[in-house]
Chains A and B, each alone.
Chain A
């Protein structure tokens, strides 16, 4: 049995807000299934399950902002039975409207192995989990209320008070029109969006935290090489000429593919630095820095880019960019990157020494292509060149490995048919 907890979706993440459940108790889940959506400073992230099993209980409320490690759900492994303390026939549970999932409860030890304690336990009306029925004196949800008050679930009542929402103004979707927590969250989310309207502030905070941590803890060093990309461009242009726009390649896809091939050859730049040592990765999960319109950026990983063709790499990048901007990235993409590529695209400066995205150990910074005088076969000729700057964590590797990575990258760009 596993307690499914609020995952850390980046070095900078402290908490997330649960905005959607995609499973309910009784559902079968498999490793990799998206089971919930969590709003973070970097947008909404689809949370994937990391084990097979059956959802036994949802332990967090929609709209709740929970710290990393807080329990979200209890998932039974194959063959496991329900914990004894849970008695589904307990009256308090039976009376619980389905639309009000149990919030994380401090008094529910087997569900809280991380000893997570909500900020204000006394302010959270706990639909009784068995064994604490005394904590749930809640009246029947749709029962008439004194003074002609609006019918509402206990959880909704408390939340409405916290939010300063008059229950009489909310359309209830519960039994007999009772206002449920979800009704309030719909209203609150809309209101919060309109009020704060500053996701950029959160985004900048997230970037600030991750980058400050990177520069404070990772001893960076940098190696640069200016690479003639003319052969790669010619190869790509010829390939794109007779292709529909939806099948065309971009130079960025060639760079990601070259990175994946080079990283596979140089394990000391491909992995994560955890608990004082490098954990090299078998797979190359290529983080792709995506600039968001209006500012900010995210660097979701193209999972197992090492196993992709150049066309698959391009298709994967289009999908990542699309979902990054739509705010629908997956938790694995946020956490399992092993090396990041940050490319300036067609316009911009000629070189960039980037900041490593922790806990990764290297970042490939690519400047914009520039037309420069270049020596080709003993004569100076105008060529389109790109400057690659590899930022490396000196704890994980030395200049020699970094140079080897660059040589590998360069050889693939020089012979694009090998990509």
Chain B
């Protein structure tokens, strides 16, 4: 799975949870909670969806590492490999 695949997966799952987010304007460093206004239930649903899709278990202590698109892609790439 390439970095691009992971990026696509993350964006798709994020938009499934928050359909008002426009992938075209999503910033690399937009913070899930501070900028995109996801709440804790949304974050948990995103983690659940990524677990299902990429088979990557993200423990709670690692949630900060998926808090932005840029961070999530590098974290998930390392975990999937």
Set B34, B51, B60: member contacting A241, Cβ < 8 A: B60
Set A237, A241, A248, A291: member contacting B44, Cβ < 8 A: A248
What's the interface size class on B, roughly? 10 to 19
Set A237, A245, A252: member contacting B57, Cβ < 8 A: A245
Stretch of B3-11, B22-30, B35-43, B71-79 lying at the A interface:
B35-43
Set A241, A252, A294: member contacting B41, Cβ < 8 A: A252
Bound together, the chains give a CA A318 to CA B41 distance in angstroms of: 7
Determine whether the beta carbon of A237 is less than 8 Å from that of B18: no
**Taking the nearest CB of chain A, how far is it from the CB of B74, in angstroms?**
20
Cβ of A346 < 8 Å from any Cβ of B? yes
Determine whether the beta carbon of B60 is less than 8 Å from that of A244: no
**Taking the nearest CB of chain A, how far is it from the CB of B75, in angstroms?**
15
* With known contacts A240-B60, A293-B20, A318-B45, A245–B37 Cβ distance under 8 A: no
Determine whether the beta carbon of A294 is less than 8 Å from that of B20: yes
Residue of A nearest to B41 (CB): A321
Set A244, A293, A345, A346: member contacting B51, Cβ < 8 A: A244
Give the number of residues in A that approach B within 8 Å (Cβ atoms): 20
Cβ of A198 < 8 Å from any Cβ of B? no
Determine whether the beta carbon of B47 is less than 8 Å from that of A245: yes
Residues of A within 8 A of B37 (CB): 293
Bound together, the chains give a CA A293 to CA B27 distance in angstroms of: 18
Determine whether the beta carbon of A246 is less than 8 Å from that of B48: yes
**Taking the nearest CB of chain B, how far is it from the CB of A207, in angstroms?**
18
Residue of B nearest to A320 (CB): B41
Determine whether the beta carbon of B33 is less than 8 Å from that of A346: yes
Bound together, the chains give a CA A60 to CA B71 distance in angstroms of: 54
Cβ of A303 < 8 Å from any Cβ of B? no
**Taking the nearest CB of chain B, how far is it from the CB of A164, in angstroms?**
31
Bound together, the chains give a CA A294 to CA B19 distance in angstroms of: 10
Which residues, 237 to 285 on A, are CB-close (under 8 Å) to B?
237, 240-241, 244-246, 248, 250-252
Determine whether the beta carbon of B18 is less than 8 Å from that of A293: yes
**Taking the nearest CB of chain B, how far is it from the CB of A414, in angstroms?**
22
Determine whether the beta carbon of A252 is less than 8 Å from that of B48: no
Residue of B nearest to A318 (CB): B41
Set B18, B41, B51: member contacting A250, Cβ < 8 A: B41
**Taking the nearest CB of chain A, how far is it from the CB of B64, in angstroms?**
12
Q: What is B's interface to A at a CB cutoff of 8 Å? A: 18-20, 33-34, 37, 39-41, 44-45, 47-48, 51-52, 57-60
**10 tightest Cβ-Cβ pairs between the two chains A and B:** A245-B48, A245-B47, A345-B39, A245-B51, A246-B48, A345-B40, A346-B40, A321-B41, A250-B40, A293-B20
